[in-house]
Structure 1
Amino acid sequence: MSFRPEKGEASDASDSEDEYVRRANRLVARWSGTRQSVPDRSQLQGEVRRRADDAPRCRVEVLGRHILEPQREVPVMDRCEVLVVGAGPAGLSAALSARRAGADVLLLERYGCFGGTITTVGMETLGWYRYEGTEDCEGIGREMERVAERMGGTTKWPYNDSDCLDAEKFKLVADTLIKESGVRPLLHIWVVEVLVNSENNIYGVITESKSGRQAILASRVVDCTGDADIAHLAGCEYSVMDKSNGMGVTTVFNAVNVDVGKFKDYTARNPATYKDWSRTWQQTTSGKEENLKSPYLQSEFEKAAQAGVIPQDKLRHFGGSWSALSEAGEATNLNLVHQKGVDPTCVRSLTNAEMEGRQNVVHALDALRHTVPGFENAKLRNFAMTVGTRDSRKIMGTYNLTGEDVCNQARFEDAVGIFPEFIDGYNILILPTTGRFFQVPFGCMVPKTGPDNLLVAGRSVAGDRVSHAAMRNMMACTVTGQAAGVAAAVSIQQKRRTREVDITHVQKELRRQGVRLG
């Protein structure tokens, strides 16, 4: 049976008529049960491939608890002048500043987006500390906030002049900054080894990705991994806090269906201050912080535990800050679920923390729905992509920052930026309401031991516990990131090792890029 359209029914164009007839006849054939033809099988399954016969294979020898890998060739994937590993606030700043200083830059990131703690953990404040009297840094970190604002990706932080970033929108903000800069990015890639030559110079890394095991060669490497992974692989000395004494990790989550007006009325009638932070731990302040308003929830979880809504033995995991609220009923950056005793450099410890954290978020939402006005109908929107970690490895530098430095307005000849007197960690909270600030020295980014031409930026810079409570903050990470990127680029221009770079030229370029040094 065949079908032809009546005169006038088909299109005026002959090719349209032919297509009409073909489709109609195919439908009639299907209805009548006629066997249908199918494309050739090779067209359906795609090109069949296998590894080349001469491709290197890892035929291992098992030696008890270890294996012996044979020597093999690793293809060179790319080359650059400055290689930045890690694309959080420090890495973004390092890559952008090195490129602006004239270097060819590659930026590697293990996740599928840039932004680090902002986008993968959901911590939406580069700097939340701007109460009246703050003297803040300048540079790429502040630029990120301004670009986010122009792109409609910020809201006001609840109780001061700080901005909340939209973590999802910041992925686009970071993409825009990278695309416009000329930095060459690679996502979904992990560094697993470093390359050091006989002259003790680091000249590249070995990576793993969906593209396989490959090498990237570079004249300078900037470690912005947050855990000093590259410095660790390179054999640099570092300190590491025992996990029982380290700061906890956080499972950040976002909720929807929040009655924002009702919740704001509740917090206005029941204001929290930083003095309330001492309900569950002994906190040290300068005194001036205690009466400042804070977006904090703690007693609400205690009431939920008393009512049997959440397990009493888990109460220690709950309490913390809320942040951005939207007109659509979203509460994002809910920093309310914590765990102690987690080792951020151990995959088993991280696995347990991820799973335990998600289960505790379920309990936290139950508590909020039961106790907090406005959250009665709240639902989970999403978990963070990964738990947020606060400390692990810290390099031993040519200079190690101290608590004395960050609390007493330290000044340095090799200053590469400033940071306000803002200390948050290890039960210490000092907010920068007096205009006090300290200078950040280049030496805290230079490993004391290990290969040359490696710099470290971000929370892994050298220092003690108190200085870490300042330098771990994301805006401080942008300061060290920008300085490390510029220093790497300038050292190439001067043909000097990074530890021997002329700091006056680094400072000149930083000023040109808008960094405040004093």
Structure 2
Amino acid sequence: MKQIVETARKVPVLAETDVLVVGSGPGGLAAAIAAAREGVDTMLVERFGCFGGTITQVGVESIAWYRYRDTVDVEGIGIEFEQRTKAMGGTTPFPQGNSDLLDAEVFKVVADEMVQEAGVEPLLHALAVDVVMEGNAIRGIVIESKSGRQAILARRVIDATGDADIAVRAGASYRKTPREEMMGVTVVFSCSGVDREQFLAYVREHPTTIADWHKDWSAQSSGKEKEIFSPYLGEIFDRARADGLIPREMTSISGTWSSLKETGEATGLNLVYMLGYDATDVRDLTRAEMEGRRLVMLAIEAMRRYAPGWEKARLRNFGMRVGVRDTRKIIGRYNITERDVRNQARFDDAIGIFPEFIDGYGVVILPTTGRYFQVPYGILVPQRVENLLVAGRCVAGDKISHAALRSMMACTVTGQGAGVAAAVSLKQGVASSQVDVARVQRALCRQGVRID
């Protein structure tokens, strides 16, 4: 590749803070709020115009779709997200299990309010492009925005970018799933003009379960999932392929519906799943956005033709960006494994719990029996870089553990843990890798987190 040489230049410092969180999805948002609640100066940097990540920017409203009557679930800021959104009238029941969908637009306001109430300094429309290092310790980041190139200095940095962007630039050890093994990316969309009652009558007459996923994707389960209802729409797209509306070889159109409002709006439609895209490659991201929109229009046409109640449906909006499930993960002080998440692992350095829920790489396990595992602090701590923690789907672990911890509610667990640990390490006067985990656990318990 042809290269140029950049001219050396001085970069103005926009701000200095105690804890800097980069990325404001469920993990980053929880991290910033948790750190600020511990009484340290906290700044939250986001590249788009709203906080909330996958919820508000992608449009995935099902933050806890895995939840059933007997699920032993997380406690902490993630539950606050649900409660606050419900209090604003921004939830609807998810058709599967015992959870609510969060209206993506209402959640933008909820996130704003929670950030402001916690005393977090917000910075939107700012893209992190580089890091500031002193030896092997991170000292801040460089951002680009409409204001130009600026630096933000911090005593602790939390990478909640989803792709470990900050950790990689800082020199942390990491792994990246090979392109051919990466989970698919999705363009989520919403429609209006749906006859809700007519469509729900069709769903009652043609019930689907998790077992129907197996017709389009090979999926391993524990067996109990095969009888569980799922809002899956495989048959409609099978008919579209049989009639030639969708190419017969195209398996990327299929998936689930979620929220159907009495106003005729269907939001959070997850009907496009595209393989072969590396979301750390800008050209792949470009192709995925454009191809995803094309496939959405095919999906809508198939729904109009074959789904009762959708005859007058029309596109309302796309998510702001493509949804990504899988890219880079740090190699941490501890790397959580499939054995851990499938065998109720317990850890001395636990920062929270998560139910036995796995969704990805051909495995679907739903937490209907009360089983859960503890989430260890070690998966937030990268190798080779001091005073940097990670939160969200780029925490350390293998493929199947990633299929559990990539979940939005799991991201709130690692986020809250990272935020509290960063704050406690500052108070203790030690590097974040050397923090007294018992003190972190006590602080998390005071914040309402379930540890064991």
Structure 1 length-normalised TM:
0.87
Aligned to 1:265: 201
**Distance of 1:160 and 1:140 partners within structure 2:** 21
Distance 2:64 2:279 in 1: 23
Work out which of the residue numbers 99, 106, 110 in structure 2 matches 1:173: 110
Q: Which residue does the alignment assign to 2:398? A: 464
Query: Partner of 2:237 in structure 1?
Result: 301
Describe how 1:244-263 pairs up with structure 2 within 5 A: 244-263=180-199
Q: 1:455 aligns with which of 379, 384, 389?
A: 389
- How many residues are aligned here? 452
In the alignment, which residue of structure 2 is the partner of 1:218? 154
Query: What are the superposed Cα offsets for residues 246-280 of structure 1, whole Å, 9 maximum, x if unpaired?
Result: 10000111000000000000001100000101001
Provide the rounded CA distance (Å) in 1 between the counterparts of 2:304 and 2:335: 46
Query: Would you say the 8 A contact 2:65–2:96 is kept in 1?
Result: no
Shift, 1:310, TM fit? 2.2
Post-superposition offset of 1:311: 2.6
Partner of 1:18 in structure 2?
none
Q: Which residue of 2 aligns with 1:387?
A: 322
| Distance of 1:160 and 1:68 partners within structure 2 | 55
Does structure 1 residue 497 correspond to structure 2 residue 431? yes
Hey, what does 1:403 align to over in structure 2? 338
1:440-474 Cα offsets, whole Å, 9 max, x none, are 0000000022x200000100000001100000000
Partner of 2:37: 100
- 1:323 counterpart letter in structure 2: S
Choose from 263, 274, 289 the match for 1:328: 263
Q: Does 1:361 align with 2:317?
A: no
1:179 CA drift (Å): 1.4
Query: Aligned-pair distance for 1:309?
Result: 2.0
2:304 aligns to what SS in structure 1?
helix
Q: How does 1:37-56 map to 2 (within 5 A)?
A: none
Distance, in Å, in 2 between the alignment partners of 1:239 and 1:118 is 26
C-alpha distance in 2 between matches for 1:443 and 1:160: 32
Q: Deviations over 1:349-375 (max 9, x none)?
A: 000000000011110001001111011
Q: State which of 62, 66, 84 in structure 2 corresponds to 1:147.
A: 84
CA distance in 2, matches of 1:370, 1:310: 12
Residues 483-518 of structure 1, C-alpha deviations (whole Å, 9 max, x = no match): 000000000001100000000100000000000001
Deviation, structure 1 residue 281? 1.9
1:125 shift after superposition? 1.3
2:120 counterpart residue number: 183
User: Percent identity, aligned pairs only?
Assistant: 56
Partner of 1:28: none
- Residue in structure 2 matched with residue 487 of structure 1 by the alignment: 421
Mapped to 2, the partners of 1:160 and 1:410 lie a distance apart of 25
Q: The residue matched to 2:254 in structure 1 has which SS?
A: strand
Aligned to 2:177: 241
| Aligned AA (2:260) | L
SS of the equivalent of 1:66 reads coil
Amino acid at match of 2:118: S
Distance 1:66 1:278 in 2: 47
Q: CA RMSD in A?
A: 0.8
Q: Deviations over 1:166-192 (max 9, x none)?
A: 011111111111111110000000111
Do the aligned partners of 1:127 and 1:163 also contact (CA within 8 Å) in 2? Answer: yes
Report how far residue 313 of structure 1 moved: 3.5
One of 368, 376, 401 as aligned partner of 1:441: 376
Give SS of 1:249's match: coil
**Equivalent residue letter for 2:255:** G
Letter aligned with residue 430 of structure 1 = I
Offset of 1:308 from its aligned partner? 2.2
After superposition, residues 268-347 of structure 1 pair within 5 angstroms as 268-314=204-250, 316-347=251-282
Look up the equivalent residue of 1:446 and give its one-letter code: V
- Aligned twin of 1:16: none
Partner of 1:43: none
Q: Secondary structure at the residue paired with 2:272?
A: strand
Q: Say whether the 8 Å CA contact 1:309–1:370 is kept in structure 2.
A: no
- The separation in 2 between residues aligned to 1:461 and 1:210, in whole angstroms, is 31
- 1:300 alignment partner, SS class: helix
Q: Confirm or deny: 8 A CA contact 1:310 1:366 kept in the other structure.
A: no
TM-score by length of 2: 0.99
Unaligned runs of 5+ in 2: none
1:106–1:186 contact (8 Å) kept in structure 2: yes
Give the residue type in structure 2 aligned to 1:124: E
- Shift of the alpha carbon at 1:105? 0.3
Select which of 338, 354, 363 maps to 1:428.
363
Match in the other structure for 2:446: 512
> Which residue in the other structure is 2:13 paired with?
76
Q: Secondary structure at the match of 1:312?
A: coil
1:205 and 2:148 aligned:
no
8 Å CA contact 1:85, 1:224 repeated in 2:
yes
- Aligned equivalents of 1:260, 1:487: Cα separation in 2: 46
Distance 1:170 1:366 in 2: 29
Deviations 1:122-149 (A, max 9, x none): 0001110112210001000001000000
Residue 240 of structure 1 deviates from its aligned partner by 0.5
Partner residue in 2 for 1:15: none
Q: Which amino acid aligns with 2:67?
A: R
Provide, for residues 84-143 of structure 1, a one-character-per-residue CA deviation record: whole Å limited to 9, x for no partner.
000000000000000001110000000000000001110001110112210001000001
How many Å separate the matches in 2 of 1:372 and 1:381? 18
Mapping 1:15-34, distance limit 5 Å: none
CA contact (8 A) 1:137 1:418 kept: yes
Q: For residues 412 and 187 of structure 1, what CA distance do their matches in structure 2 show?
A: 36
CA drift of 1:307 comes to 1.5
The higher-RCO structure (CA 8 Å, 6+ apart) is 2
Alignment of 1:407-422 (within 5 A): 407-422=342-357
